Amino acid sequence: MALAYAGYAQRSAAWLEGYARAGGAVHCRSGCFHCCNLPIQVSLAEALLTAAALSTAQMQSMRRRAARVIQNAKSASDWNEYFQTHRAKVGYCPLLDVESGACTAYEVRPARCRDTFSALSSKFCEAGGMERLTRAERVAYNREVKENPATDGVSHYIAPLEELGEPIWEAASDAMRSAWGLEIWGDFWVLTTLTQDAAFMAAVRSGAAAQATRRAKALGLWHLEIVRIEE
Q: Which residues contact ligand SF4 (rule: CB under 6 A)?
A: 36, 40, 93, 95-96, 103, 105, 109, 113
Beta bridge partners of 227: 186
Q: Of the two residues 36 and 120, which places its CB atom closer to ligand SF4 in the complex?
A: 36
CB of 117 to ligand SF4, least distance (A): 12
Q: How far apart are CA 78 and CA 92, in angstroms?
A: 21
Helices (H), the chain: 2-21, 44-52, 56-75, 79-85, 111-114, 135-147, 159-163, 166-180, 188-194, 198-205, 209-218
Q: How far apart are CA 229 and CA 212, in angstroms?
A: 9
Q: Of the two residues 40 and 49, which places its CB atom closer to ligand SF4 in the complex?
A: 40
Q: Of the two residues 95 and 150, which places its CB atom closer to ligand SF4 in the complex?
A: 95
Q: How far apart are CA 26 and CA 46, in angstroms?
A: 26
Q: How far apart are CA 46 and CA 212, in angstroms?
A: 18
CB of 163 to ligand SF4, least distance (A): 19
CB of 114 to ligand SF4, least distance (A): 8
Q: Of the two residues 93 and 229, which places its CB atom closer to ligand SF4 in the complex?
A: 93
Q: Of the two residues 103 and 199, which places its CB atom closer to ligand SF4 in the complex?
A: 103
CB of 180 to ligand SF4, least distance (A): 24
CB of 150 to ligand SF4, least distance (A): 21
At residue 49, the 3 state secondary structure works out as: helix
